[in-house]
A and B are shown apart, each in its own frame.
Chain A
Amino acid sequence: MLRFTVRRLLLLVPILLGLSILVFLWVRALPGSPAESLLGERADEQSIAQIREQLGLDDPLYVQYWRYLETLAEGNLGTSIATRRPVTTEIRERFPATVELTVAAGIFAILLGIPLGFFAAKRHGGIFDNSSLVLSLIGVSIPIFFLGIILKWIFAVRLGWLPSIGRQDVFIEAEHPTGFYVLDGVLTGNWRAAWDALEHLVLPAIALGSIPLALISRITRASVLDVQNEDYVRTARAKGLPSRVVDSRHVFRNAMLPVSTVIGLQVGLLLSGAILTETVFAFPGIGTWLQEAIQNRDYPVLQGGILFVAVIVVVVNLLVDLSYGLLNPRIRLAGR
Chain B
Amino acid sequence: MHKLLRAGVAFAALPLLVAAVALGSADRAAQASDTLVFGASADPVVLDPALISDGESFRVNNQIYETLVAQKPGTTQLVPGLAVSWSKSAGGKTWTFNLRRGVRFHDGTPFNAAAVCANFDRWYNFKGAQASSSASYYYNVVFGGFKNPGKGLPGRAKALYRDCKARGQYTAVIRLKRVFGPFLGAMTLGPFAIASPTALKQYGADKGRLTADGVYQPLGKFGTPDGFAVGTGPFKFESWRVGDRLTLVRNDDYWGEKAFLRRVIFRPIADNAARLQALQTGEIDGYDDVEPQDIATIKRSKDLKVLDRPPFNVGYVTINQAVAPFDNLLVRKAVAYGLNRPAVVKSFYAGRGVVAHEFMPPSVPGYSKSVPKYPYNPARAKALLRQAGLTLPVEVEFWWPTDVARPYMPNPKNNFQAFAASLNKSGFKVIAKSAPWRPDYLGRADQGTAGALNLLGWTGDYADPESFLGGILRAAKQFGLENNPIGTKLYRDLDRALAEADQNKRNAMYRRINNYIMQQVIGVPYVHTMPALAFRKNVVGYKPSPTLNDVFRIVKKVG
Contacts and interface: CB of A to CB of B under 8 A. Distances in A.
Nearest to A57: B214
B274 A165 contact: yes
Interface string A30-50: 011011101111010101101
Given A39-B134, A149-B273, A164-B283, A192 B267 contact: no
A165 B278 contact: yes
B17 A84 contact: no
Contact of A90 (B16, B211, B242, B271): B242
Contacts of B225: 85
Interface stretch (B35-43, B252-260, B493-501): B35-43
Contacts of A41: 406, 459
Interface string A271-286: 0000000011110100
B42 A292 contact: yes
A299 interface: yes
A279 B271 contact: yes
B369 interface: no
A154 to B, nearest CB: 11
B216 interface: yes
A279 B270 contact: yes
Contacts of A4: none
B269 interface: yes
B271 to A, nearest CB: 5
A296 B43 CA distance: 12
Contacts of B381: none
Interface string B358-371: 00000000000000
Interface in B419-457: 436, 438-439, 443, 446
B243 A288 contact: yes
A31 B213 contact: no
B35 to A, nearest CB: 7
Interface in B391-443: 403, 406, 436, 438-439, 443
B277 A31 contact: no
Given A38-B134, A78-B213, A282-B268, A192 B46 contact: no
Interface string B199-240: 000000000001111111110000011000000000000000
Interface stretch (B21-29, B167-175, B336-344): B21-29
B245 interface: yes
Contacts of B137: 40
Contacts of B214: 34-35, 38, 51, 54-55
Given A93-B242, A166-B283, A167-B244, A280 B32 contact: no
Q: How big is chain B's contact interface, by range?
A: 35 or more
A153 to B, nearest CB: 7
A289 B274 CA distance: 15
A170 B267 contact: yes
B133 interface: yes
B5 interface: no
A171 interface: yes
A165 B267 contact: yes
A254 interface: no
Interface residues of A, number: 64
A51 B439 CA distance: 15
Nearest to B225: A85
B215 A171 contact: no
Contacts of A82: 42-43, 45
B216 to A, nearest CB: 6
A81 B213 contact: yes
Interface in A132-186: 149, 152-153, 156-157, 160, 163-172
B483 interface: no
Nearest to A292: B270
Nearest to A285: B243
A90 B218 CA distance: 15
Given A31-B436, A38-B134, A171-B28, A55 B277 contact: no
Nearest to B447: A45
Interface in A39-93: 39-41, 43, 45, 47-48, 50-51, 54-55, 67, 71, 78-86, 90, 93
B267 A166 contact: yes
Contact of B215 (A80, A165, A192, A288): A80
Nearest to A35: B214
Given A54-B210, A85-B225, A169-B28, 8 more contacts: A83-B45, A90-B242, A93-B242, A153-B277, A164-B278, A192-B24, A282-B269, A284-B242
12 contacts: A38-B134, A39-B133, A45-B443, A78-B213, A156-B280, A160-B281, A165-B284, A171-B27, A192-B24, A280-B274, A282-B274, A284-B243
Interface of A: 31-32, 34-36, 38-41, 43, 45, 47-48, 50-51, 54-55, 67, 71, 78-86, 90, 93-94, 149, 152-153, 156-157, 160, 163-172, 191-192, 195-196, 279-282, 284, 288-289, 291-292, 295-296, 299-300
Interface of B: 13, 16-17, 20-21, 23-24, 27-28, 31-32, 35, 37, 42-43, 45-46, 53, 133-134, 137, 152, 210-218, 224-225, 242-245, 247, 265, 267-271, 273-275, 277-278, 280-281, 283-284, 403, 406, 436, 438-439, 443, 446, 459
